Amino acid sequence: MRRRGFKGKLSSLEEERFLGIALLESLKEAGTPGQVAFEDPDVVIAVETIGSWAGISFWDREDMKKYPFIRLD
């Protein structure tokens, strides 16, 4: 998660943790449990916020092979 704005009001680490828990719970409820992994991930979910605006993107393994500049920072 990359965040611009709300300095001192939001913690990127706490937001990442919240989103990760919500995602894992949703996957489990759907019958497809998952896990968070930084080594060779199946999907990268990128979230960026600017003030009260947010954007999200999903990149799967095929996308990451096709576009090598997509990576975890």
Report residue 10's pLDDT band, with 50, 70 and 90 as the boundaries. low
How much is the pLDDT for 3? 66
30-66, pLDDT tens digit by residue? 999 998 888 888 888 888 888 888 889 889 989 988 9
- 12 or 21, which is more confident: 21
Which tokens belong to 68? Answer: 């090598």
Is residue 59 packed enough to be buried (19+ CB in 10 Å), middle (13-18) or exposed (0-12)?
middle
Q: Find the distance separating the first CA and the last CA of the chain, reported in whole Å.
A: 10
Number of Cβ within 10 Å of residue 15's Cβ equals: 15
Its pTM stands at 0.67
- 53 or 8, which is more confident: 53
SS3 state at 39? coil
Which tokens belong to 6? Answer: 């709300």
Cβ atoms of residues 1 and 19 within 8 Å: yes
